[in-house]
């Protein structure tokens, strides 16, 4: 199932506003940005980059990041159910909230956060330079 959210009133830096968002609950999210940049976020990557306080350790606790993107070292991995987005809903004019099939649902993915974690080669290279 594919959904589409078009946001005309997001309050992000110029050019870093989404023009179009395409959501596939079984594949991920694709965003066309107003500055003509294109981002594609796989499910595992999105889940691993959850910005909630639990996942990031924002309350001074140990971060509880998921590792869905991590390659397994053994071919005899225990069964892990397929990750899916059960529901995606807009949060104001600045973000989306995702209900995940693993029971997690507290992450609010702001458009600024999504742009900062863009997995394309150019954005990854730019993050490497600044860190």
Question: Residue ranges of the domains in the chain?
Answer: 2-130
Question: Could you say which architecture CATH assigns to the domain 2-130?
Answer: 2-Layer Sandwich (3.30)
Alpha carbon distance 63, 54 (integer Å): 6
pLDDT in tens, 72-107: 666 666 777 789 999 999 999 999 999 999 999 999
CA distances from 92 to 3, 89, 95, 108, 112 (A): 17, 10, 7, 11, 14
Higher-confidence residue: 11 or 114? 114
pTM exceeding the 0.85 threshold for the entire prediction: no
Q: Is 30 left (phi over 0), alpha (psi -120 to 50) or beta?
A: beta
């Amino acid at each position: 199932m594919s959904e589409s959210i078009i946001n005309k009133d997001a309050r992000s830096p110029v050019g870093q506003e989404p023009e179009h968002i395409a959501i596939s609950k079984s594949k991920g999210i694709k965003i066309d940005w107003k500055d003509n940049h294109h981002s594609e976020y796989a499910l595992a990557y999105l889940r691993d980059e959850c910005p909630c306080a639990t996942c990031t350790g924002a309350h001074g606790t140990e971060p509880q990041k998921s590792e869905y993107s991590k390659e397994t070292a053994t071919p005899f991995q225990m069964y892990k159910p397929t990750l899916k987005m059960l529901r995606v809903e807009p949060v104001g004019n600045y973000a989306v909230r995702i209900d995940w099939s693993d029971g997690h649902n507290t992450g609010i993915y702001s458009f600024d956060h999504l742009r900062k974690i863009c997995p394309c080669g150019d954005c990854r290279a730019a993050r490497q330079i600044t860190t």
